[in-house]
Chains A and B, each alone.
Chain A
Amino acid sequence: MPKDCRSNPGLVPDAGWRKTVFFTSLLIAGASSGNIRKMSLFVQFLLDAILLGGLYALMTVGLALGLGVTRIINFAHGEFIMFGAYATFFGAGALAIDPIIALPFVAVLVAVGGAGVFKLVARRALAAPRINQILLMFGISLILQNLAVLMFTGDARSVITSYSMGATDIADVWLPHGRIVAFAMAVVLVIGLVVWLKRSELGKATLAVAQNEKAATLMGINVNAVYLLAFGINAGLAGATGVAVSFLLTITPFMGFQMLVKAFAIVILGGLGSIWGACIGAFVLAFAETAVAYYVPNGIGWAEGVAFLVLLAVLIIRPRGILGQQVETD
């Protein structure tokens, strides 16, 4: 297995964050002898799964928060991710801003955009029947996606940074720099969100609305402002996810949808509206996907389907998810 090919995986444009996984599975074929090899392969598997899980957690906590507070299922979540990635791309291209520096700006930009969408349209769905909510949000996502097609064309783009292609070899375990940067972003933002929810006045108010909106109103919390805030944070975290994936994946107007379905699978796996559940679900899915990619023949392709299998399994075995409170039947 020639190592230089793994250290420069950015040459494969659409391999995405499974780049490392792909090249490591080539390694399985090449190195079938020796326990040290197997050991380092296992360490590599753990590392890849954890790095992927961090990204999935970032991708999902915002959705879980928005869902828990507003009870609106945000089908536009994937589109917010996509807009975040495009903002990073144009920032990196036109203004030569590194994605790490662009992160707060893009997150705020997308959060404001998301709050605008909420103010204009989604707010009206708050009290609407469930079917209207689903179709309305679905319509918004369609509009945003196709606006992106019109504005940015369907061409695939990618952000190239000094760290997006590099990797360090430590005792036969490869540390891909780009994914470590993305993981660090995810850890900072997810911990930041949790601390904000637990410590700050507004965060506590948000949690209160998520628990019981009527009681929160009686306590003098401006519920409508909290809805707006939660939806904005949802969009902002989606935008941040867009920044984190912008230098790992190819950016197209359609990138959001695939991530949306996965994010939904994680939300249901973790339990509807639970942030901790979303984090756990993210790592469960990441480990399951990476395991399939590593240890199943043709696993890279099949890994794409793991989310749906996990989702079906959850629906059959435990529809309320790992930490969920209530499941929607009647």
Chain B
Amino acid sequence: MSASQLKCTAFLVFAVVLVPLPFYSTPVITDWCLRLGTLMMLSISWNLAANAGLVSLGHSAFWGLGTYAAMLSANSLGFGFVVSLIPAIAIGMGVGALLAVITGRLRGFFFAISTLALSEGLRVIAVMTPEVTGGGEGLYIDQANRPDSQTIASAAIFCSFVLLAISWVMFRSRYHYAFRAMRSNEAASQMFGINPAAFRIAVLMISGGMASLAGGLNVWFGGFVDPAIAFDLHITILAQVGPILGGIYTLLGPVIGAVAAIGISELTRIWFGVSGLSLLVYGAILCLCILYLPNGIWGAITRLRKKPAGPPARMAEGRP
């Protein structure tokens, strides 16, 4: 069996084992499955954007939009669980494209702040339009269409595998090199016949749609949303912690990071008995990984496995 066949088999085995897991387990494990699935989706989504040189500090914007799209289409249009995820993905893709058009060629700090502002701006809009969003009081999802939590958790795991497959295809395609070129230098990538504007729109559409889907799934599980929950900074942080911890710009990094992040947050909760610690821990993970483990867990593993021939690959984009 060739290496890629082996990987394919491993992928399918994991999918077949994990997707039905919530149906044969306790409520705690169902809860973990949902958190793991949505976190994997967020991490994969953030990593795709970062891979093209776009550091997002506003993934909660996409998440929140997906949340509201799923909730509102279910409540006012009577959409079922699966159908309601379509408007969720659509709005994430739409706003992703809009963000790409608005930010034009801005990157680095400017792009990061634009995304942060997008998320905060959407939160203000959600608070100020109570006729639609229920305002600060929030909204409950229509219980009639709501499937049981095992189904939702299982769907989350399933979707995360689908997204992993999508990102696998993207990493294997020739576009991967285009994204890497954009990350290093957008102007130079243009000279190789890459159209950065089109690629940026594409990558933010895909990334935005993925994060919105995660938000849409999560709202069916929780059943309630208000602007502070939907556009929570916590989501943005989680979306970064996965790839940074696991290994940024790699295919498997976000997955490993998501598993490790959930593990760490559960362990600190058990050891210290305080739930508010997880954000502190995530902050420490961000700092420590950037300083001492810039290529994450996956980077450390691959480096141990095969000694690099040249100096270790530095992350692109030097100091201007």
Contact = CB atoms under 8 A, between A and B. Distances in A.
Contacts of B128: 298, 301-302, 305
B57 A129 contact: no
Interface string B114-136: 10111011001101100000000
Nearest to A267: B113
Interface of B is mostly: helix
A150 B114 contact: no
A142 B116 CA distance: 15
A140 B284 CA distance: 8
A261 B107 CA distance: 17
B237 interface: yes
B107 A139 contact: no
Nearest to A272: B109
A147 interface: yes
B283 A146 contact: yes
Contact of B286 (A138, A257, A304): A138
Contacts of A130: 55, 108-109, 317, 319-320
A73 B280 CA distance: 20
A114 to B, nearest CB: 16
Given A268-B113, A298-B128, A305-B121, A143 B284 contact: yes
B165 interface: no
A36 B125 CA distance: 35
A223 to B, nearest CB: 14
B50 interface: yes
A142 B286 contact: yes
A127 B233 contact: no
B43 to A, nearest CB: 14
Contacts of B283: 139-143, 145-146
Interface stretch (B17-25, B98-106, B213-221, B254-262): B98-106
B186 interface: yes
A131 B319 contact: no
A128 interface: yes
B55 A264 contact: no
Contacts of A31: none
Given A134-B57, A319-B106, A312 B117 contact: yes
Interface of B: 50, 55, 57, 102-110, 112-114, 116-118, 120-121, 124-125, 127-128, 185-188, 233, 237, 240, 244, 248, 274, 276-277, 279-280, 282-287, 290-291, 294, 314-320
14 contacts: A130-B109, A132-B315, A136-B287, A139-B290, A142-B283, A146-B280, A265-B117, A272-B109, A301-B124, A305-B125, A305-B128, A312-B117, A328-B106, A328-B107
Interface of A: 71, 73, 121, 124-132, 134-136, 138-143, 145-147, 149-150, 257-258, 261, 264-265, 268, 272, 298, 301-302, 304-305, 307-309, 311-312, 315-316, 319, 327-330
